[in-house]
Amino acid sequence: MIRVGLGHDTHRLGPGTALVLGGIAIPHDRMALGHSDADVLLHAITDSLLGAAALGDIGEIFPDTDPANRGRDSAGMLRVACDRVAEAGWRIVNLDCVIFAQRPKILPHRAAIRSRVAAILGIDVDRVWLKAKTGEKVGPIGEELAIGAECVVLIERD
């Protein structure tokens, strides 16, 4: 049996010194704003996994109303979701992810992000793909007011 999950996340951007994407802090003059560390990529991956296995969503498990989640490391949240998916008998086949950001350019950081995501999930890096799209200077993404990410995951029963 196989299942597909889709995850999406968007965060506002504000002044900062680094942008956390895929568990990697990328030096940048903007940062994502959120209750946790606001890693849009890891949040999208978390939701895609939970959705594929019909195990809820990131907001249910890690509500932003819980003070314990303030500043929380998104890698830890993804690990919890991954463990729940595995406990339910599912295995990750592959992920295909997109980051939507006008800046910074993602390509120079792609290998590091893919490696970090694969390590968090305990899978081979060749099961994780990442690409990026700009907003073409249009809308909140293009005007550097927001950043977004989407992920599609394929899982199968062990």
The three-state DSSP-derived secondary structure of the chain is CEEEEEEEEEEEEEECCEEEECCEEEECCEEEECCCCCCHHHHHHHHHHHHHCCCCCHHHHCCCCCHHHCCCCHHHHHHHHHHHHHHCCEEEEEEEEEEECCCCCCHHHHHHHHHHHHHHHCCCHHHEEEEEECCCCCHHHHCCCEEEEEEEEEEEEC
The domain in which residue 84 lies consists of 2-157
**pLDDT tens, position by position, 10-64:** 999 999 999 999 999 999 999 999 988 999 999 999 999 999 999 999 999 998 8
The model's pTM: 0.96
Q: How many domains does the chain have?
A: 1
Range 97-108 average pLDDT: 97
CATH of the domain at 132: 3.30.1330.50
